[in-house]
Amino acid sequence: MKTILIVDDEIQICTLLTKILTKEGYDVSHSVSGSSALKMVKEKHYDVIFCDYRLKDKEIDGSVLSLKIREISPATGIIVMTGYPDVRVAIQLIKGGIYDYVVKPLNAEQAILLVQKVLLHQSLHSKEQLPAATIASETPVSTLVSPKGRLSQFVYGNGNSSKELHVQIKLIAPTNYSVVILGETGTGKESVAHLIHSQSKRKDQPFVAIDCGSLSPELACSELFGHEKGAFTGAIQAKTGAFHEAHGGTLFLDEIGNLSYEVQTALLRVIQERVVRPVGSTKETKVDIRLIVASNEDLQHAVLNGRFRDDLYYRLNEFTVNVPPLRARKDDLPLFIATFKQTIEAELGRECGEITEEVYHAFYNYCWPGNIRELKNVMRRICLLATDNSLITSANLPEELLPQDVEPGLPPGSDENLKNVSRQAEYKKILDVLQQVRFNKSEAARLMNIDRKTLYNKLHTLNIVL
């Protein structure tokens, strides 16, 4: 019989969880103090431990207890419960190896599901040591339905920055907080917004996405709030705005930084008063929406430059999610490559050959300025070109991914001049390192312990053309 320990200084929680889980056929014990729980763990193996984060135990609180349990019994799945969720704490604990971090109170369904997930996870990893918790390891791919009804696969990376991202998504999704998603183009901001919606209580209601970057200042208010027939020249019919369409669900405003100051003012009013008045109308209607916005640029910077209203920014920014660029999550590349290949093979209706080492190398060494979108496109290209199920080689790669040639030769100058000696040594070192990392400048800068800008300056002054 699987064993469970509940550690909480609130006896009602212990009793409730014990009742729920005993009914499910588990052997459940409980403890109201950290120190006695620790003794119990030393004496008996528990498969799952629910542990309160804020134990009123002077000697040992929940965070210390969970780490100690990890040391004594690394195979135990630890679930930390809290009444006061904090993303930083969650990340720290999950990095420390706990299985999950959940918000109290737990209902019966949640508690049972959590235990089932831990046990399933343990059975899958029974031969290895239980790895640190990751949402990713359980469900590496999730299928999303886009607002236009298209199916797309969302890959949960398993590198550290991806894990942090998904812990944040998981914590923020069930709340009603407005979210600002920041990240470079193609990093998956819209996918993250969609994921937040699909894990929220609003998941069965509409998800409406608007690209503010493509809205003209004249049309923005009409797109967002709707208009009455005849409200302006060309308004031959009344139009429902995005706020109404998203009623009950989530409204995602992409490239919010592109909205004009006037539209920002109108948006602020709607957010504050939660009522919408279509252009040309005198009637206001209540709307219930959750707002998620995204931007390629740092909105705080735009606020400082006076391009974005600070009051609107603070209204929107109840929580910020930073989506890392692909070059900072290269650990995830194999998972992304494998998933995209599978999807593309399904799209093409045929299998493509194996990807060779040299292609993987090129992928690792490239800096992916277009991020996941660019990777997807490159994968489409190489799979499409691999016609006869033969190996996918670097011959199919676009030019920017191919290793670049360097102009050979040392910079001129007299050997006796000390400045030239150090210049030539620097020149040689930089070229050596660049060759070693297959001309990945970020990696070269990292290895030489200088920033990218310094490396660029040096390449320029040493006349190294890449």
Ligand X SMILES: Nc1ncnc2c1ncn2[C@@H]1O[C@H](COP(=O)(O)OP(=O)(O)OP(=O)(O)O)[C@@H](O)[C@H]1O
For 392, phi and psi rounded to 5 degrees? -90, 115
Binding map of ligand X across residues 292-311, x = CB under 6 A, - = no contact: --x-x---------------
Q: Which of 101, 47, 106, 102 has the alpha carbon at shortest distance from 77?
A: 47
Of positions 190, 223, 228, 443, contacts ligand X by CB under 6 A: 190
Rounded least distance, CB 372 to ligand X, Å:
4
User: Which of positions 226-265 make contact with ligand X (CB under 6 A)?
Assistant: 254
Element housing 377 (H / E):
helix 371-385
152 φ, ψ (degrees, to nearest 5): -140, 155
322 in contact with ligand X (CB under 6 A):
no
Closer of 140 and 226 to ligand X (Cβ): 140
Q: How far is the CB of 121 from ligand X (least distance, A)?
A: 21
Among 96, 117, 154, 315, binds ligand X (CB under 6 A): 154
**Binding segment toward ligand X, per CB under 6 A, in 151-159, 298-306, 409-417, 432-440:** 151-159
By beta-carbon proximity to ligand X, the closer residue of 57 and 254 is: 254
Residues 6+ apart with CB under 8 A from 419: 413
CB of 185 to ligand X, least distance (A): 4
User: For residues 320 and 182, what is the distance between their CA atoms, to the nearest angstrom?
Assistant: 7
> Which residues in the 376-405 window bind ligand X by CB under 6 A?
376
Q: Which stretch binds ligand X (CB under 6 A): 83-91, 183-191, 312-320, 433-441?
A: 183-191
Considering the complex, state which of residue 105 and residue 147 has its C-beta at the smaller distance from ligand X: 147
Residue 372 interacts with ligand X (CB under 6 A): yes or no: yes
At closest approach, how far in Å is the CB of 41 from ligand X? 37
Closest separation between CB of residue 28 and ligand X, Å?
38
100-103 β-sheet, strand order: 27-31, 3-7, 48-52, 77-82, 100-103
Nearest to 212 by CA among 266, 245, 255: 255
Of 158 and 191, nearer to ligand X (C-beta) is 191
The least CB distance from residue 331 to ligand X, in Å, is 13
Cβ neighbours of residue 91 closer than 8 Å, sequence gap 6 or more: 164, 167, 168
User: Of residues 183, 226, 241, 257, which one binds ligand X by CB under 6 A?
Assistant: 183
* CA terminus-to-terminus distance, the chain: 64
Q: What is the dihedral of CA 413, 414, 416, 417, to 10 degrees?
A: -40
The residue from 41, 106, 155, 270 that contacts ligand X (CB under 6 A) is 155
Using CB under 6 A as the binding rule, whether residue 160 contacts ligand X is answered as no
Is the CB of residue 254 less than 8 Å from the CB of residue 211? yes
Closest CB 381 distance from ligand X, rounded Å: 14
Query: Where does this chain touch ligand X (CB under 6 A) — which range of 146-154, 221-229, 279-287, 298-306?
Result: 146-154
Binding ligand X (rule: CB under 6 A), the pick from 107, 110, 152, 240 is: 152
CB 5 within 8 A of CB 31: yes
185 binds ligand X (CB under 6 A): yes
Strand pairing category for 239-240 and 226-227: antiparallel
Told to check if 341 binds ligand X by CB under 6 A, we report: no
Part in contact with ligand X (CB under 6 A); list of ranges 78-86, 201-209, 224-232, 368-376: 368-376
Q: Which among 423, 408, 421, 422 is positioned nearest to 462, based on CA atoms?
A: 423
Q: Per rule CB under 6 A, is residue 187 in the interface with ligand X?
A: yes
Q: Which long-range contacts (CB under 8 A, 24 or more apart) does 375-382 make?
A: 375/326, 375/333, 375/336, 375/337, 375/340, 376/340, 379/337, 379/340, 379/341, 379/344, 380/344, 382/352, 382/355
| CB 374 to ligand X: min, Å | 9
Select the residue interacting with ligand X from 189, 197, 227, 244 (CB under 6 A): 189
Closest approach of ligand X to the CB of residue 406, in Å: 32
Q: Say if residues 289 and 250 touch (Cβ distance below 8 Å).
A: yes
Residue 374 binds ligand X (CB under 6 A): no
CA 429 to CA 447: how far, in whole Å? 11
Tell me how far, at minimum, the Cβ of 193 lies from ligand X, in Å.
Answer: 8
Distance, in Å, from the CA atom of 173 to the CA atom of 170, rounded to the nearest integer, reads 5
Euclidean distance between CA atoms 265 and 455, whole angstroms: 43
- Closest distance to ligand X from the beta carbon of 156 (Å): 7
Q: Binding of ligand X at residue 191 (CB under 6 A)?
A: yes
User: What distance in Å separates the CA atoms of residue 236 and residue 215, rounded to the nearest whole number?
Assistant: 19
Strands 250-254 and 239-240, sheet pairing: unpaired
**Interaction site with ligand X (CB under 6 A):** 152-155, 183, 185-191, 254, 294, 296, 372-373, 376
